[in-house]
């Protein structure tokens, strides 16, 4: 027996039965980085490593009860929110978070999967912008989600600033889904803060890279890292996972979330 309790991370996300994305990605990434994950499932999806075929949302009351049980018992040091699936679940999660002085909250605003399938109801977008983003420490939209939520017009900067205007503290605008030779991620923060990091574009398509990154950052925040450092280290960890990715099925590659660490190169 040991008295040493790892930092606890409450994870609110959906299940992907292929084990590539969703809760499995979240559990593996947080565990690999030394945190104790507390998983609250919002939805069951039917998918393989190529496509998502169906999303069934859990009853919002049941999602809220799971989260309340965890928050009442465990010393939650950070919260990661992934797929919420519908507006009712979004509202229920917002209510729970509003009841507590919350630790850092990372929201990965999952709307579609890597193959383009719709994973969340369009009405969730309003709940994200109005109820959940104001409670967030960090948002991690990909380019498509940033366009959907931050507006079709404008550029990355103006869209990210629109998300910050909801009350979120930081936005990490991810660029892996842009048609660019390299991958550029930009961290926007208080005032005029912008920090761009560039990564070599690795060959192949990946399932669960966004979940891995958001969960890694959350685990690092839970262990006391400041946002900028957690974002930098989380990206390095995810890049290593992708460098060592494997292909368990017939579709996309899956990040190897338990791996030997090397010195990850920035592009
Ligand atoms: N959450 C769930 C439950 C999913 O099924 C998916 C994608 O399939 C995602 C999140 C987002 O995955 P990614 O990390 O590839 O953006």
Is the beta carbon of 242 within 6 A of some atom in ligand 1? no
pLDDT of residue 263: 57
Q: What is the pLDDT of residue 249?
A: 97
- Does the CB atom of residue 93 touch ligand 1 within 6 A? no
Is 64 within 8 Å of 95 (Cβ atoms)? yes
pLDDT at position 102: 83
pLDDT along the chain (267 residues), means of 10: 90 98 98 98 97 97 98 98 98 96 95 86 96 98 96 96 98 96 97 97 96 98 98 98 98 95 57
Token pair 């009442």 is at which residue?
72
Produce one character per residue of 61-81: b if its CB has 16 or more CB atoms within 10 Å, e if not. eebbebbeebbeeeebbbbbb
Atom of ligand 1 nearest to the CA of 15: 3
pLDDT score, position 267: 52
Listed residue (101, 100, 119) closest to 110, CA to CA: 119
Q: 1 C-alpha vs ligand 1 centroid, how far in Å? A: 36
Query: What is the spatial distance between Cα 41 and Cα 254, in angstroms, rounded to a whole number?
Result: 21
Torsion sign over Cα 141, 147, 148, 154: positive
Residue 263, classified by CB atoms within 10 Å of its CB into exposed (0-12), middle (13-18) or buried (19+), is: exposed
Which of helix, strand or coil describes residue 205?
Answer: coil
Ligand 1: which of 29, 144, 208, 218 to mutate, most ligand atoms within 8 Å of CB?
208
pTM more than 0.95: yes
């Amino acid at each position: 027996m040991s008295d040493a309790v790892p930092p606890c991370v409450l994870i609110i996300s959906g299940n992907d039965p292929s084990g590539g994305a969703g809760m499995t990605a979240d559990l593996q990434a947080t565990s690999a980085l030394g945190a104790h994950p507390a998983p609250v499932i919002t939805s069951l999806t039917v998918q393989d490593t190529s496509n998502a075929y169906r999303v069934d949302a859990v009853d919002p009351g049941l999602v809220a009860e799971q989260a309340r049980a965890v928050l009442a018992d465990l010393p939650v040091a950070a919260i990661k929110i992934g797929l919420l699936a519908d507006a009712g679940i979004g509202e229920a999660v917002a209510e729970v978070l509003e009841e507590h002085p919350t630790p850092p909250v990372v929201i990965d605003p999952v709307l579609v999967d890597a193959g383009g399938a719709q994973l969340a109801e369009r009405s969730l977008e309003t709940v994200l912008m109005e109820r959940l983003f104001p409670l967030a420490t960090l948002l991690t939209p990909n380019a498509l989600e940033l366009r959907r939520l931050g507006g079709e017009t404008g550029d990355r900067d103006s869209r990210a600033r629109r998300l910050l205007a909801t009350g979120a503290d930081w936005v990490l605008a991810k660029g892996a889904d842009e048609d660019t030779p390299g991958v550029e991620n930009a961290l926007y923060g208080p005032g005029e803060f912008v920090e761009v990091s560039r990564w070599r574009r690795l060959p192949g398509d990946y399932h669960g890279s966004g979940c891995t990154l958001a969960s890694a950052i959350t685990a690092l925040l839970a262990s006391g890292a400041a946002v900028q450092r957690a974002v930098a280290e989380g990206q390095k960890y995810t890049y290593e996972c992708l460098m060592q990715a494997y292909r368990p099925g017939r579709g996309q590659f899956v990040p190897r979330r338990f791996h030997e660490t090397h010195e990850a190169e920035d592009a």
